[in-house]
Chain A
Amino acid sequence: MSIQTQLPALRATGRRRGTAQRGEARWTFLLIAVVLAILAVWEAVVRAGLVPEAFLPPPSKVLTAFLALLVEGEFWQAFAFSMGNVVVGLALAIVVGVVVGLAVGWSPVLRFTVAPFLWLLYSTPKVALAPVIILALGLGSESKIALTFLLAVFPILLNTMEGAVTVSPSLVRAARVFGVRGPALGWKVIFPATLPFSLAGIRRGAALGFTGEVLGEFLGGTGGLGHMLEQAAYQFEMDEALAMVVVMVIIANLTLSLIGLLQRKLAPWHDERTAAAS
């Protein structure tokens, strides 16, 4: 016995996303225009001799330095060092953040005992711990990985926790009705329902983790992009120093876009505007 289908589905979500993307495109356009205008003014001001070039090289010089970096072996070594540390630190932060976040968010006992300490740690400026960590772990990769991890883990953990707390009770009820219990409940319901929150946390954690890496290299290091930047600034090569800053901006933005892409791919059902994730 069959029941005929009536009105076709309205693909409302798709339409909404299309509009949002058009709106975003307009903002991107405006942003590019503003940046170009600033660059033009900057170039003009330096060329006119209003600012000494030694302090602020014009964009054209920075661009030349940037292109020179791309063919330099030392740069790519530093790049590999920094990114390797960020990837390891971030991977650790994701595993620990998601697992602990799910456990604490899902278990009321853990939530009332452990969560306050997590918030306390989160609000502690971990940057202040950097010298201590470098003293304890040395000038190599370990201290950088530790800093990346420390900065990245809290947003991931706390976002995941918030996500697990807000899993719809009606989904949990439905799962119970259809016999889903114990680990299956975690795997089939809690984890996927929390995933968008975790991804939002990972996005924030990645940005902070990269900051941690560069900071570690600044404060005491023998390699990496931060170290190179510090060297350039120390030797008063402002064009190379600014080119390094450009490199970091590019890396950070590519990482964020990549995770944004991942969010849309892995959690297409999630409406970011209704999410409490920050």
Chain B
Amino acid sequence: MALPDIRTPETTERSMTSADTDVGTPLIQVRDLAVHYSHRRTGGSLVAIEDVNLDVTDGEFVTVLGPSGCGKTTFMNVVAGLVAPSHGQVLVDGKPVTGPGPDRAVVFQDYALLPWRTVIDNVRFGLEMQPHLRGTGWRERVQEAIETVGLAGFEQSYPRELSGGMQQRVGLARAIVAEPRILLMDEPLGAVDALTREVMREEIERLITATGKTVLFITHSIEEAILLGDRIVVFKSHPGAVKEVLTTGIERPRSERSIQSDARFLELRDHLWEALRGEATAAATRSSS
């Protein structure tokens, strides 16, 4: 099914941006990226992602959508500097990524909070390895981040005393406390209960658009990808690769309710449904054969 009005080729997007802002290089450039995992036991290797190319401009909110196991986490880990590429590279601000850095922070699907630290100390973890931030004034920064995510009053609580949604707020506060330019979010609401997830989606949308951060947001929810993204990168599996890139073009602020009746939302949702169903069917056929 061809939908030329939805698809925005990478090249058009890039030339448009550079013409508009005259910046030249996008903030994140992914070039011919491939990651192969070697399996120690079998001695074989698995192609997790291959030929991934993507440009993300400063301030853009990009959602990455795809079935599970298609390499989304792997892709994000390379951008985060946690996994080294087998081929190609990722450039941030024109410089190749060789490891984690203070310009990028990650929000993890399993929260990854330190269970022996209180909320305030977990948030502080986000800045305590940065010499210029951990001195005087860290307390104000940490408090501000805690208030931003709506956790005021829970500073002295331990993660185990908080619900999943609140734990992820701590994860979010920890990620924004040092004010990184880039936020990498790996299915941050995947383990949160359905009701909280809808509330937090809207909160994230408002929070991020207000701060103008550049975001890579991984999800396997079609609604989430449309609600949050300026653009949606659809991944396919075996091997993981970019299947297509769509521009949402829906006005912000968006809300769960108002977007349901938006014609563009419905159009995108149907298109993504078709795309993902094809992927899921292909995966099922492959695993059964």
Which residues of A are interface residues toward B (Cβ below 8 A)?
A: 1-7, 9-11, 13-14, 168, 170-171, 173-180, 184, 188-189, 192-193, 195, 267-269
Contact = CB atoms under 8 A, between A and B. Distances in A.
A54 B276 CA distance: 86
Interface of B is mostly: loop
B23 interface: no
A9 B156 CA distance: 13
Interface stretch (B89-97, B144-152, B234-242, B266-274): B144-152
B108 A184 contact: no
Nearest to A169: B112
B125 A9 contact: no
Contacts of B158: 268-269
B71 interface: no
A181 to B, nearest CB: 8
B196 A6 contact: yes
Contacts of A4: 150
B162 A267 contact: no
B153 interface: yes
Nearest to A10: B163
Interface of B: 80-82, 99-102, 104-106, 108, 110, 112-116, 125-130, 147-154, 157-163, 165-166, 174, 178, 196, 199, 203, 206-207, 210
Contacts of B152: 2, 5
A184 B162 CA distance: 27
A9 B114 contact: no
Contacts of B127: 178
A111 B270 CA distance: 53
A171 B147 contact: no
Contacts of A11: 161
Contacts of B112: 168, 170-171, 173-174
B192 to A, nearest CB: 11
B100 A3 contact: no
Contacts of A174: 106, 108, 112-113, 125
A2 B148 contact: yes
B154 A9 contact: yes
A9 B80 CA distance: 31
A9 B161 contact: yes
B208 to A, nearest CB: 11
Contacts of B163: 7, 9-10
Contacts of A175: 125
A179 B129 contact: yes
B105 A1 contact: no
Given A10-B163, A13-B161, A174-B108, A180 B154 contact: no
Contacts of B125: 174-175, 178, 180, 188
Contact of A269 (B108, B115, B151): B115
Contact of B114 (A5, A14, A171): A171
B129 A180 contact: yes
A269 B116 contact: yes
21 contacts: A1-B148, A1-B210, A2-B150, A4-B150, A5-B153, A5-B154, A6-B196, A9-B154, A11-B161, A13-B160, A173-B82, A173-B112, A174-B108, A178-B105, A178-B125, A178-B129, A178-B174, A179-B100, A179-B101, A192-B114, A267-B116
